[in-house]
Amino acid sequence: MDPLKGKKVLVGVTGGIAAYKAVELVRSLKKHGAEVKVILTPFAEKFVNRLTFETLTGNKVFIDWQENPLTHINLSRWADVFLIAPCTVNTLSKIASGIGDNLLTTTVLAYKGNLILAPAANPAMYNNPAVKENREKLKKRGITIVEPEYGILACEEEGEGKLANEEKILEYVRKSLSAPLLKDKKVLITCGATREYMDPVRFISNESSGEMGFSLARVCWWFSAQVKVIAGFTTAQAPFCVEIVKIRSAQELRAEVLKELNNTDILIMNAAVADYKPVRRESKKLSKKSKLTLELEKTPDILEEVGRLKKNTLLIGFALESEDLINRAKEKLKRKNLDMIIANPPEVMGAKYHKGFLITSEKIEEFVFGSKLESAFFIIKRLTSFISS
């Protein structure tokens, strides 16, 4: 489930050239199921006409108190989350100082929920000592600032000041709408495919994209966990919000997992680890032959080893089986000392949809979702209830 679905998002747009980017941002919020209302500052309307936002949202756009003197109160009570994007340094500094001199800043003063500011500015202005001080002041109050990106700006200067990309802003909105169910928890996730090389260019691997692991990482971050991902080869887009350590082989994966184990509250072993590796790795590329005999040996069973060594870490594994899926997964759950296992058929590897069974010692739940992100949300929600029980 997308945290945006069914939520009320109040979007403030201030008077900078990046105001035109708010149009696509509002469109995306609507696309993901949010109800959106927009407040424009008077100068923002010089960049983007109110009719544009009214057409996209299906709601009236607000600029002043002309129709209702309690507009700022009504909007502040309506919103589940309040996002200002772009936020000029002028508006940012007014908010830091408690100034309410237009509808937008007055609504901020009346709002008691999660406030997110996505600044956009000339680099010199953004890094002005007074603005820096105001940013720190806002952060100490618990206000989220989605830092701008480095790039070439409308003024043709290059530096930090470009409005953060749409997906990054949406992720912060999703997090603000999610309960901090994993606050102060350290979560370690493995994902992607390992590669076992027979020579400098050839290897044994599989079709894992890493999408499931990255989706799990995103959802854990939404729930306020401290997340680290150990990733093999992946084709899915990596989330910006978590630390990622890249590895290649099963041996490298094992080393990283064991290094982090005693400092981890929740370990989700989603990586598709090659079961075998060449006994010998050639230092030079093997020449092409009509036949090639390759001697293989088993790679370490990292999940089983972690199951033996873990103390208070909650351990979740994944099982991919062609036959007798549930029984084999249940056997792995017990033999490897897991707290939970997700059993999947082979066709989910590399696919966009996801299905399988969530299995604990007490119950089995079947699930089918149109995306791995939806499955990840389901799995992590079950995991949080498992922790609290």
Tens digits of per-residue pLDDT, 357-367? Answer: 999 999 999 99
pLDDT tens per residue across span 256-266: 999 999 999 99
Residue 386 clears pLDDT 80, i.e. is over it: no
Q: How far apart are CA 217 and CA 208, in angstroms?
A: 16
**Beta strands across the sheet bearing 266-269:** 243-246, 226-231, 186-191, 266-269, 314-320, 340-344, 354-359, 364-369
From CA 184, how far away is CA 227, in angstroms rounded? Answer: 10
pLDDT given at position 389: 57
CA distance 226 to 228: 7
Give the separation between CA 208 and CA 347, rounded to whole angstroms.
11
Give how far the C-alpha of residue 260 lies from the chain's centroid of Cα atoms, to the nearest Å.
21
Q: How far apart are CA 242 and CA 252, in angstroms?
A: 20
pLDDT band with cut points at 50, 70 and 90 for residue 286: confident
- Output the pLDDT for position 291: 85
> Is the model's pLDDT at 84 over the cut of 90?
yes
Q: How confident is the model at residue 117 (pLDDT cuts 50, 70, 90)?
A: very high
Q: Taking the CA of residue 321 as centre, how many other CA atoms within 13 Å lie in the half-sphere pointing to its CB?
A: 17
- The DSSP call for residue 168 is H
pLDDT at 293 over 90: no
Catalytic entry in 155, 191, 220, 241: 155
> C-alpha angle with apex 344: 342 to 350, nearest 5 degrees?
115
Q: What is the spatial distance between Cα 314 and Cα 387, in angstroms, rounded to a whole number? A: 8
pLDDT in tens, 159-178: 777 999 999 999 999 999 99
pLDDT for res 282: 86
In this prediction, residue 124 has a pLDDT band, given cuts at 50, 70 and 90, of confident
The helix/strand/coil state of 166 is: helix
Task: Round to whole Å and give the CA distance between 153 and 62.
Answer: 28
| Nearest CA among 157, 149, 178, 2 for reference residue 81 | 178
Structure confidence at residue 257 (pLDDT): 98
Distance CA 217, CA 185 (A): 13
Instruction: Indicate the average pLDDT of the chain.
Output: 94
For residue 37, give the nearest of 15, 59, 56 by alpha carbon. 59
Q: How do residues 214-241 score in pLDDT, each as one tens digit?
A: 999 999 999 999 999 999 999 999 999 9
Q: How confident is the model at residue 288 (pLDDT cuts 50, 70, 90)?
A: confident
Mean pLDDT for the stretch of residues 22-27: 98
DSSP 353: S
Report how far Cα 61 is from the mean position of its chain's Cα atoms.
Answer: 30
375 closest CA partner among 301, 268, 273: 268
As a whole number, mean pLDDT of residues 101-110 equals 98
pLDDT at residue 388, as a whole number: 64
- Phi/psi of residue 93, each to 5°? -70, -35
Question: Which of 22-31, 36-45, 149-158, 310-319 bottoms out in mean pLDDT, i.e. has the lowest?
Answer: 149-158
61/53 Cα distance (integer angstroms): 7
- Length, in residues, of the chain: 389
Q: Please answer whether residues 342 and 316 qualify as being in contact, where contact means their C-beta atoms are separated by less than 8 angstroms.
A: yes
pLDDT, tens digit, for every residue of 38-61? Answer: 999 999 999 999 999 999 999 999
**Among the ranges given (60-64, 92-96, 123-127), the one the predictor scored with the smallest mean pLDDT:** 123-127
Question: Distance between CA 61 and CA 70 in Å, rounded?
Answer: 15
Closest CA to 271 of 308, 242, 236, 298: 236
| Of 287 and 242, more confident | 242
Domains and CATH numbers, the chain: 8-177 (3.40.50.1950), 186-388 (3.40.50.10300)
Q: Is the peptide bond before 86 cis (omega within 30 degrees of 0)?
A: yes
- How confident is the model at residue 375, as a pLDDT? 96
Active site residue 155: yes
Dist CA 273 CA 332 (whole Å):
15
